[in-house]
Amino acid sequence: MRRLILPAVLLFLFGVLLGSTLVDTFLATGDTSSLRKVEDAYSFIVSKYVDQVDTDRLTEQAIYGMLEDLDPHSTYISREDIREVQEGFLGEFGGVGIWYEVVADSPRVSSTVTDGPSEKVGILPGDRIITIAGRSSTGDSTRTVQKRLKGAVGKPIDVTVKRRGFAEPLPFTIIREKIPLYSVDTSYMLDERTGVIKIGRFATTTYDEFMEKVAELTQSGMRRLVVDLRNNPGGIMETAVRITDEFLPAGFDIVETRARDQSTGRKQRSTNGGQLESVPLIVVVNENSASASEILAGAIQDNDRGLVIGERTFGKALVQQQFSLDDGSVLHLTVSRYFTPSGRLIQTPYEGADMSAYLAHKFDNVYGLDTTSLPDSLSYSTRSGRVVAGGGGILPDHIVEPDSTTALAHPLMRALNRSMGDIRFVRDLFDREQDAWRARWSGSQQEFVAFYEVDAGLKRSFWNFVERDALLAEQDVAADDASKAAIDETLSVLLKARLAQNLFGSAAYYPVIQQLDIDLQVAQESWPEAEGMVD
C-alpha cells in the first residue's frame, strides 16, 4: 500500500484544509469520458465479479493507483487516519514526538518535536525505524505505526532505528509524553551581538513566535541574526513568505508558483515595513531543510540579502493543496511548483511516487556542485550577478563538510555517540540526583549556561558508567595523548549540554552545544561578507 505522510495529516489539523472536492476539480477539466470509463469499470467489478467485492477497499486502491504515477508528495489520507489523529490530539494519550513518513515499507523520521521524548533520547531526522516494541515495522501502514507508537503517558516503548553512517541498528527506549506543539525551537545570543533563532517548522503560529524572539534578542543586544533552518521539513508557505518579507525592502521577489493553468500562477514580492531589513543575516541549512525552508533560504540567497551556510538542502519545490472527499478523507495533491527569485526550480528529480529512489538520489550528494563549472541549464544569477546553482536543493554560499580532524570524528567519540553514552549517563544521574541538581540550579538557566563547568569528578563518573554498562568495545577505547585532551574537552561540552537539556529543556541545550557546531563556527567567520550585503 502506498505510503502516507503524517505531516500532511498534521497540517490538516491546523486548518490548512481548503474545502474543495476531487470530483469538482476533475469535472472542471471537462474530461468526462475518462471519468465515465472509471465509473463503468467500477460498476462492472462491483456487479459482475465472481466474489463479493469490498467496495471501500476497491475505491481506496483505485485512488492509490491514480497517485502512483504522479510524484512522491501527492498522497491520500483515509478517513480513519484523519479521525485517529484528531482523536489522538484531542484525547489523553502519549506520543513519542516525531513526524514521519512511511518510505520503502518502513517509517522514516522527518523531524523530532523539540523537548519531545524522542529528541530527549537521541532520535534524529533521517532515522529509519525498523522495529517497534521488538517487532519489525516493515510493511506497517502509517496508521499501524501510529497505533503502535502511541500509548499511555509515562509508558515506555522500545524502538530500533537504522541510521546513515552506522553499520549496526541503534536501540532506544522512549517514554511517552503529552507532546508540545510549537514551531520556534529556541533563541539565544551566540555572542554579545549575534542572535540565533532556530525554526523547527513553519506553522500558523510561527511568524508571531519568530517576531517575539526577535524582540527579545534585540533587547539583549542583537545586531545580527542567524536563522537556523536545519532539520526543518517546511510547512505553510505563507508563513515562510511573511518571515522572509521582514528582511527585504519593498518590491523584491520572494517566490513564484507556477501551475498547469498559467492564469493561476502567482509571484509574491516583499512589502514595506520589514523590521529586519538592516540586520545582517546568515541562514543555516542542511539536507533535511525542505519546502518552506528552501523558499526562505532561496529568497535570501537570490536577493543577495544574506549568506546561506551548511549542506545542500532537500530540494522540494512541489506545492500541495488539500482536497476533502465526501467521506472525510483527503487528497494531498501537488498543484504547482515554486521557483526562487532567480528562476531556479530546486526540486529533486523523481520518477513517479517511488519515495525510496527519490530519497536515494537526493542523499547521494548533500554537499553540492562546483559553481565555477556549472552547465548553462543549472547556472543562475542572483540580483547582484553572483552565480548560484539550480537542480535539486539550495546549494549554500559556504558548504560545510564534516571535519574529520575534530574530536567528534575520533572513533572513541563516534562509539560514544553510537551508544548514546552522554544521554544515558545524564539520565541515570538525574534518576538518582535530580532533586539536588534542580535545587541548585532552579531558575538559573543563564547562570548555568554561562558559568557551570563539568569537573573531573563528573567525568570520572561518566567513564565509570561507560565501563559498568559496557558501552564501548575494546578497540574503541584507544586514543593518543593529543586525542585524549581533545576528547576530554569535547566530552565536557556534551555533558554540560545534556545537563542543561535535562534541567531547562532544549532552549538551554543549543547555546551550550553550539561550541561544537561547525556550521555556526563558519557563520561566525563569515560576518564580514554577510554584513557587506546589507544596503
CB 490 within 8 A of CB 407: yes
Contacts of residue 387, defined as CB under 8 A and 6 or more positions apart, other chains included, come to 371, 372, 374, 379, 380, 381
pLDDT > 60? residue 79 = yes
Which domains are delineated in the chain?
Answer: 95-175 (2.30.42.10), 184-318+336-349+358-402 (3.90.226.10), 407-504 (no CATH)
Confidence of residue 91 (pLDDT cuts 50, 70, 90): very low
Among 28-32, 204-208, 409-413, the range of highest mean pLDDT: 204-208
CA atoms lying within 13 Å on the CB side of residue 205:
10
Q: Is the pLDDT of residue 68 over 80?
A: yes
Helix (H, G, I), strand (E, B) or coil at 157: strand
Q: Which of 74, 86, 76 is nearest to 1 (CA)?
A: 76
Quote the percentage of the chain above a pLDDT of 70. Answer: 85
C-beta atoms surrounding 238 within 10 Å: 15
Measured CA angle at 254 (ends 250, 257), to 5 deg: 135
Confidence band, pLDDT 50/70/90 cuts, at residue 459: very high
Adjacent-strand bridge partners of 319: 336
Instruction: Work out the pLDDT band at 525, boundaries 50, 70, 90.
Output: very high
**Per-residue confidence band for 160, with pLDDT thresholds at 50, 70 and 90:** very high
The answer, yes or no, to whether residue 1 has pLDDT greater than 50, is no
User: Is the pLDDT score of 275 beyond 70?
Assistant: yes
Asked whether the predicted pLDDT for residue 367 surpasses 60, the reply is no
Half-sphere exposure of residue 169: CA atoms within 13 angstroms, side-chain side: 13
Q: What confidence category does residue 438 fall into, taking pLDDT thresholds of 50, 70 and 90?
A: very high
Higher confidence at residue 230 or residue 359?
A: 230
| AA identity, residue 217 | L
Q: Tell me, what's the pLDDT at 85?
A: 53
**How far, in Å, CA of 117 to CA of 122, rounded?**
9
Q: How far apart are CA 494 and CA 413, in angstroms?
A: 11
Stronger pLDDT, 410 or 9, i.e. the higher one: 410
- Which uninterrupted H or E stretch holds 158? strand 156-162
pLDDT band for position 255 (cuts 50, 70, 90): very high
pLDDT of residue 517: 95
Please give the pLDDT value at position 73. 87
Indicate if the pLDDT at residue 10 is higher than 70: no
pLDDT confidence of residue 80: 78
Under a CB-based contact definition with an 8 Å cutoff, are residues 331 and 325 in contact?
A: yes
pLDDT digits (tens, 9 = 90+) for 332-342: 899 999 999 99
- DSSP letter at 241 equals H
pLDDT of residue 17: 31
pLDDT exceeds cutoff 80 at 2: no
What's this model's pTM, rounded to 2 decimal places? 0.81
Q: Is the pLDDT of residue 281 over 50?
A: yes
What's the pLDDT score for residue 370? 57
Range scoring the smallest mean pLDDT among 46-60, 115-129, 433-447: 115-129
pLDDT the model gives residue 9: 35
- Amino acid 447 reads E
Question: How does residue 190 score in pLDDT terms, banded at 50, 70 and 90?
Answer: very high
133 pLDDT exceeds 90? yes
